[in-house]
Amino acid sequence: MFVPALPVYYGPDSATAYDNVLRLLKFQDLLANLDAAAAERARTRLRTTLDAHNTDSGVYFDSRAWIITARRH
């Protein structure tokens, strides 16, 4: 069953959303294997993406979900 898209709130502004993403996704762990320049490019891309989703009421992204049910025979 497909669940309709609902917006996910990341924070009131892109700076707060950035901090929230770092905590939720353990972004620092993902950057650990990158050299300094590549890590900074990743941080810059994250900030750019969050800025692009910033609205008057906060930073939102669409979400999607599938609910899967399995039965054992």
pLDDT reported for residue 1: 66
**pLDDT, tens only, 57-66:** 999 999 877 7
- Asked whether the beta carbons of 17 and 50 are under 8 A apart, the reply is yes
Length of the chain: 73
Per-residue pLDDT of the chain (73 residues; tens, 9 = 90+): 666 778 999 999 999 999 998 887 677 788 888 999 999 999 999 999 999 999 999 999 998 777 888 888 8
pLDDT reported for residue 3: 67
Burial 64-73 (b: 16+ CB within 10 A, else e): eeeeeeeeee
Distance CA 46, CA 56 (A): 19
- Asked whether the beta carbons of 13 and 58 are under 8 A apart, the reply is yes
